[in-house]
Structure 1
Amino acid sequence: MTDESSEPVEYAPVDTLLGLLERGRGAGWLWVKEDREAGAGAEAVLDCLRRETRYDRQCDARNDYHALLVRELALPIDLLRQQLDGADEDDHDRAREILAALALTGSVEAREVLRPVCAERAVVAGRAGHSRRAVARALVGRSRRGRDGPARRGRARLPE
């Protein structure tokens, strides 16, 4: 990572499953999907969930990627639950974002784990005078434009 307070990420070699997953490569997802029965991918995915593997948190988002891997391997979300309840704020935020991505894909378990966190954040945001929409965006960690911005919906216009 490039934060001043943290050390740079040291990746496993790029030709290994762990190295591909740490880098957020699609080849890692394909490897996991093909070798699902072997179970080799489960420990590598859990290792990526245990620590920050993004080089720069401002431009590298892996929440959906990790959520897809957790769902594909049917991994238990106990590790994410522990990080959510832990003292490390970065782990908490990363776990919340991955759980939110899982919940958006239909995971009832992830939704139930997030329910108390969402309620707490709604109270805090409500006290600060934010609108309901702002509170809802804050709960799932999405910006105002997010994924559903005008270009995504096909509303972007080219200049004439």
Structure 2
Amino acid sequence: MSPHSQPSAMSWEAFKALVRERAQHWRVFGLPGRWQVLQELKELQRLQEALGADARPASDRFPILYLATLDDGWGHGLDVIEAAARAVGVRTVRLGLLCSAEHILDACRRRPPDVLGLTILHAETEPIVSAVVQGLTSGVTVLAEGPVFGIPTLRHAPA
């Protein structure tokens, strides 16, 4: 992405093409370090917001994503997931770190999200994940990720 981009002249279709290009680059060359990913996502969000309300779809057309950790007190994964979601216009609600099943389900009952994103570090958390999934209303998609699911091999672009 060029820092000299002209966001006001960009269309929503051009923005989506830019997001697809960035995602493809990451698939081919692997993710850069966390801080670089966050910076690139901030730039995408800046471009998306600079489009203006008239150029973007209405915010209610985007899903609502709730984010929580079950056994992670740092939330580094949530930072990246939230930045990626916001960069493309997804509405996010961070439920917190080290959340109990009851806390997550209470929030989901008050206002059901479209997607519930969970980060999970340890296999011992599986009973909590099961309780959350079983307690959700139908129509909520659950995305769970973390080392407990296996660590993907990342390739980095040559310097």
| Superposition TM-score tier, normalisation by shorter sequence | 0.3 to 0.5
Higher relative contact order (CA 8 A, sep 6+): 2
Structure with higher strand content: 2
